[in-house]
Amino acid sequence: MNTTDAIRYGALTIFIVIIILSYLLAPKATVGLIIMSRLFYIKLPSNYINVSFYVSSAALMLLITLIPEYRRWRINSIINGELPAFVRVIRDGISAGLTLTESVAVMSKYGTRTLAKMISSRVGQGIIGPGELSNILMELSREFNNNNLALLSIVLNSALRSGVRATEVLDLTYRELDNVITNELDKVNSLRPYVALAYTITIVYVFLGSVVLSVLLPKLTLTAESITGTLPTGVAQLSGVDTSVLLTLFVYSIVVQAFLIGMLIGRIVYRNIYVGLMHSSAMTIIAVATNYLLNIYTPYLLHV
């Protein structure tokens, strides 16, 4: 396990521990649960403000920890977008009689500025040969966990050592990379609007839940109590449920929804679960803060 993985797993472990502590340390209220005419008493957290603080703190910690993961994904996206042009410049340079060192020197003028800068910073003023270029690309692939760079490292090393057929191999590599990368970027760009939709869905869920729990539920309590006595025996029923208990459980439901949506975003849009968890953390903070404000101001705005 490398340092990056250790930080990820450590942050996730701390997040889970804080969520568990928020449940264990929160003030409890006793709730009666009637199942098959038998009454059971269970203790549930009843201070949503306390739990909201713990949850938001845990999400903020995870968000800060995973920001470098988003940066790595962003750099990978830039590098992947530059790969076809990178191969094209090397191909054209070989055709024009340029050395690899000279080709890398002119890359920044042809849409490969980021990748050319990374290669130049590792070489300095030295001469770049096929072996050096292949090793640099392999190092970058490990640093950024980029399989495209690893594959390109192998292909370039073979192509540049093949002699007269190097230009043909590089031309084929360029065309294949251009098709693959273009399709991949188009797919990501087409899915990116769903990230905003995910945030919108979370906020709507919080708004509806907050309105129901802080405004409508108190009014329905008396009606529910009168109906409870008429329910047939054998139906599971809750008795003595404080609104604060439901508000607290609602905060936990926000966390669950945000993390499920975030992981889905990570797998589908970013192809990186940790970037999705970063969005989960951001969604949790925004949703919990929105829920807190709605619980305070909604009754006044609706004159309840």
Question: What pLDDT is recorded for position 284?
Answer: 96
Kindly tell me if the per-residue pLDDT of 223 is higher than 70: no
Question: What pLDDT is recorded for position 202?
Answer: 94
Extract the tokens encoding 180: 């693959």
Contact assessment for residue 76 and residue 144, using Cβ atoms and an 8 Å cutoff: yes
Q: φ and ψ at 258, to 5 degrees? A: -60, -40
Element (H, E) at 188: helix 166-191
Mean pLDDT of 181-202: 89
Mean pLDDT of 31-52: 81
Q: φ and ψ at 237, to 5 degrees? A: -135, 150
Question: What pLDDT is recorded for position 238?
Answer: 46
Contact assessment for residue 205 and residue 257, using Cβ atoms and an 8 Å cutoff: yes
DSSP label at residue 165? G
- Average confidence score pLDDT of the chain: 83
Do both 113 and 63 map to the same domain?
Answer: no
Do both 171 and 142 map to the same domain?
Answer: yes
Do both 55 and 112 map to the same domain?
Answer: no
Q: Give the whole-angstrom CA distance, residue 110 versus residue 226.
A: 75
* 127 vs 56: which has the higher pLDDT: 56
Residue 81, CA atoms < 13 Å, CB-side half-sphere: 14
Question: What pLDDT is recorded for position 234?
Answer: 43
Poorest-pLDDT segment among 32-41, 142-151, 276-285: 32-41
DSSP states of 96-124? TT--HHHHHHTGGGGT-HHHHHHHHHHHT
Kindly tell me if the per-residue pLDDT of 258 is higher than 70: yes
Kindly tell me if the per-residue pLDDT of 236 is higher than 50: no
Do both 111 and 164 map to the same domain?
Answer: yes
* 136: nearest Cα among 152, 122, 155: 122
Cα torsion 110, 111, 115, 116 to 10°: value is 30
Do both 67 and 23 map to the same domain?
Answer: yes
Q: φ and ψ at 32, to 5 degrees? A: -90, 130
DSSP label at residue 163? G
Question: What pLDDT is recorded for position 233?
Answer: 44
Question: What pLDDT is recorded for position 32?
Answer: 72
What is the three-class DSSP state of 229?
A: coil
Residue where a domain stops, chosen among 189, 221, 254: 189
Q: Model confidence at 29, in pLDDT bands (50, 70, 90)? A: confident
Do both 83 and 177 map to the same domain?
Answer: yes
Kindly tell me if the per-residue pLDDT of 226 is higher than 70: no
Residue where a domain stops, chosen among 189, 212, 246: 189
Do both 62 and 203 map to the same domain?
Answer: yes
Number of helices (H), then strands (E), in the chain? 11, 3
Do both 185 and 198 map to the same domain?
Answer: no
Do both 197 and 266 map to the same domain?
Answer: yes
Do both 240 and 252 map to the same domain?
Answer: yes
Residue where a domain stops, chosen among 154, 173, 189: 189
Query: How much is the pTM?
Result: 0.80
What is the three-class DSSP state of 32?
A: strand
Question: What pLDDT is recorded for position 108?
Answer: 66
Question: What pLDDT is recorded for position 205?
Answer: 94
Condensed to tens digits (0 to 9), the pLDDT of residues 59-116 reads: 999 999 999 889 999 999 889 888 888 888 888 888 888 888 788 777 766 667 788 8
Do both 210 and 287 map to the same domain?
Answer: yes
- Count of domains in the chain? 2
Question: How many residues make up the chain in this entry?
Answer: 304
Do both 271 and 205 map to the same domain?
Answer: yes
Residues of the domain holding 167: 78-189
